Amino acid sequence: MYVRSFADGDGDGTGDLAGVRARLPYLAELGVDALWFTPWYRSPMKDGGYDVADYRAVDPAFGTLADAEKLIAEARGLGIRTIVDIVPNHVSDQHPWFRAARAGGPERELFHFRPGRGAHGELPPNDWRSEFGGPAWTRLPDGDWYLHLFAPEQPDLNWAHPAVRREHEDVLRFWFERGVAGVRIDSAALPAKDPRLPDFVEGRDPHPYVDRDELHDVYRSWRAVADEYDAVFVGEVWLPDSERFARYLRPDELHTAFNFAFMTCPWQADRLRACVDETLAEHAPVGAPATWVLCNHDVTRTVTRYGRADTAFDFAAKAFGTPTDLALGARRARAAALLSLALPGAVYVYQGEELGLPEADVPVERIVDPMHFRSDGADPGRDGCRIPLPWTAGAPHAGFGPGREPWLPQPAGWASYAVDRQQDDPGSMLALYRAAIRLRPVFGGDAPLTWLPAPDGVLAFSRADGVVCAVNLADAPYAPPAAAELLLASGPLDDEGRLPQDTAVWLRL
Ligand code: TEU
């Protein structure tokens, strides 16, 4: 959940914890059993809260620590557990440690400070690039440079320093003590750095800052803390190598990690099937449950991605003005919802996905995401998937909040996606998500998956008790096994009971 855009309780134009609390019944009705909150801590919001100034305080724009405690307890009362987001790679440049470091204190050791190269130290210490574009180094007036893999306002911490490790374990305890049941670990493969900070050499192993072995020791000690509280981790681990990925999921490390292979996979039957197989195969040896993700607060919304010629997701391919067929994208997104909710493991639904929201074109002058600015304006950035939600069609700001303009503009026509419009419409995306989440236990929890024979372009698998999910991505209609009971369909079947292209069904044989 991207709190800033979920619901605005106090009318200042920014979503907040009061807004979430008021909407907990909606979330319970949707059937969610856990909520992951992107960072709600005190932050200058240079990167939507991923620049944390104080982990033990809630940002005043979102509320207070007492509000967070109430939210955690109320959610728990509805059977919903809370997952907070911890950002170990970096802090805000307004964090007390960095303020002291900037002033020249010994806190510099908690970060990566180095003299520059060149005759006058005018060149960065190495050639690393920021994930948001541009150099990963910024020079201070006193001549030293500091490392930031993201924005300059997000200095990287030095994980070789014991105080950095101690502090994070303390922060974990702080939130577990407040009833938090899980932690999402931001940029989980990035915090450890080669202490020599060498230039990047393509293909050299180990990488100077991605997926370094030292990290596993950190997560083992985090796991010991989580075990004291029976809490779980979900890691944001972007790694192409499935064996390296699975190492984070060993029994004494993280419980789960996001499935970015699935999230970036194109809408093609053979690719999706291979992705499902690889996912299950990489998780099996470590005994960790898989996760299924179609989008999040960083990437193009599902309905838009699937409505384009290129249905994969790649940060590098993002551009302004990509032609999009939203009706096609919505049809596929509905089928993808039934596919992902039928697979064994945990499904993450990003707020608004259950409403079928498309990516919005944010007017250039309203963009705030640093990814846009660091790309010199070439990349539209991530604001298009972070638009404040529409709740009530006729209300100001589509019911997002009672007062000021939302912090990002809602596009024209946004109200047509409002919750109150979809609520009682059996054909809506919201109705589909509610029905699917309610029915999902028919697949038998952890029951294994067996592929069934099916024509090219059709994915069909069964799990427990003869329950089947079939998805037709081919242009020829697909006739499911005769005499099967139809449990749920993502769209209308044809007159002969066959699935048209981009339609999924759940059946009981
Ligand atoms: O994202 C980290 C990350 O590496 C990918 O999402 C992606 O590579 C990045 O957005 C651009 O390359 C996490 C958060 O999800 C994101 O919102 C934050 O901006 C980022 O960390 C920094 O904390």
pLDDT tens by residue, 388-404: 999 999 999 999 999 99
Annotated catalytic, 236?
Answer: yes
Assigned domain for 185 exists: no
Instruction: CATH number of the domain at 104, please.
Output: 3.90.400.10
Q: CA distances (Å), 273 to each of 55, 265, 269, 285, 504, in order?
A: 41, 10, 6, 19, 14
Is the per-residue pLDDT at 446 higher than 90?
no
Q: Is residue 445 pLDDT above 90, yes or no?
A: no
pLDDT at 250 over 90: yes
As a whole number, mean pLDDT of residues 259-276 equals: 98
Q: Residues 337-389: pLDDT tens digits?
A: 999 999 999 999 999 999 999 999 999 999 999 999 999 999 999 999 999 99
Query: What confidence score (pLDDT) does residue 125 get?
Result: 98
Q: Whose CA is nearest to atom 17 of ligand 1?
A: 298
pTM score above 0.95: yes
Within-domain flag for 473: yes
What radius of gyration do the chain's Cα atoms show? 23
What is the CA(431)–ligand 1 centre distance, in A?
Answer: 31
Rounded-to-integer distance, Cα 232 and Cα 234, Å: 7
Give the pLDDT confidence of 304-338 residue by residue, as tens digits.
999 999 999 999 999 999 999 999 999 999 999 99
**Count of other CB atoms within 10 angstroms of residue 213:** 9
Mean pLDDT (whole number) for 126-154: 97
105: Cβ contacts below 8 Å, ≥ 6 apart: none
SS3 call for 471: strand
- CA dist., res. 388 & res. 467, Å (int): 37
Measured in Å, how far apart are the chain's first and last C-alpha atoms? 37
Q: Is 494 contained in some domain?
A: yes
Report residues whose beta carbon is within 6 angstroms of any ligand 1 atom. Answer: 47, 50, 87, 131, 150, 186-187, 236, 238, 297-298, 315
Tell me how far apart the alpha carbons of residues 71 and 238 are, in angstroms, rounded to a whole number: 30
Q: What's the CA-to-centroid distance between 273 and ligand 1, angstroms? A: 27
pLDDT value of position 294: 98
CA nearest ligand 1 atom 18, residue? 50
Residue 465 predicted with pLDDT over 80? no
What is the average per-residue pLDDT within 493-506?
Answer: 98
- Look at residue 124 and tell me whether its pLDDT is greater than 80: yes
In a domain, 115, yes or no: yes
**Spatial CB neighbours of 160, under 8 Å, sequence gap ≥ 6:** 192, 193, 195, 214
pLDDT at 482: 84
422 contacts: CB under 8 Å, gap ≥ 6: 355, 428, 429, 430, 431
pLDDT tens track for 408-428: 999 999 999 999 999 999 999
Which one of 150, 183, 185, 210 would you pick to mutate in the ligand 1 pocket, going by the greatest count of ligand atoms within 8 A of its CB?
A: 150
Answer yes or no: is 154 within a domain.
Answer: no
Give the closest residue (by CA) to ligand 1 atom 6.
Answer: 298
Q: In whole angstroms, give the CA distance from residue 244 to residue 282.
A: 10
- Count up the domains in the chain and report the number: 2
Q: Which atom of ligand 1 is nearest to the CA of 190?
A: 4
Flag whether pLDDT at 500 surpasses 90: yes
Is 179 part of a structural domain of the chain? no
pLDDT at residue 235 tops 80 = yes
The CA 13 to ligand 1 mean position distance, Å, reads: 24
In a domain, 480, yes or no: yes
Ligand 1 atom closest to the CA of 50, numbered from 1: 23
Candidate from 40, 86, 95, 131 with most ligand 1 atoms within 8 A of CB, to mutate: 131
Final residue belonging to a domain, choices 147, 167, 182: 147
Q: 149 in helix, strand or coil?
A: coil
Domain boundary among 122, 147, 172: 147
Rounded-to-integer distance, Cα 213 and Cα 216, Å: 6
Tokens of 59: 């940002």
d(CA 48, CA 93): 14
pLDDT at 359: 98
Measure the CA–CA gap between 404 and 84, rounded to whole angstroms.
27
Residue 115's domain comprises 96-147
- For residue 293, being part of any structural domain is answered with no
pLDDT of residue 483: 81
Give pLDDT, residue 278.
97
Q: Which atom number of ligand 1 is nearest to the Cα of residue 51?
A: 23
Identify the domain boundary among 115, 147, 179: 147
Cβ neighbours for 43, distance < 8 A, ≥ 6 positions apart:
49, 50, 51, 52, 53, 59, 92
Query: What is the per-residue pLDDT for 225?
Result: 98
Q: Average model confidence (pLDDT) for the chain?
A: 97
State the average pLDDT over residues 157-172: 98
CATH number at residue 496: 2.60.40.1180
Helix axes 326-342, 429-439, angle to 10 degrees: 10
Mean local confidence (pLDDT), 418-443 = 98
The residue contributing the CA closest to ligand 1 atom 16 is 298
Among the listed residues 16, 93, 186, 383, the single catalytic one is 186
Angstrom CA distances, 482 to 421, 456, 464, 465, 508, stand at: 36, 19, 19, 17, 11
Looking at the predicted structure, is the pLDDT value of residue 103 above 80?
Answer: yes
pLDDT the model gives residue 28: 98
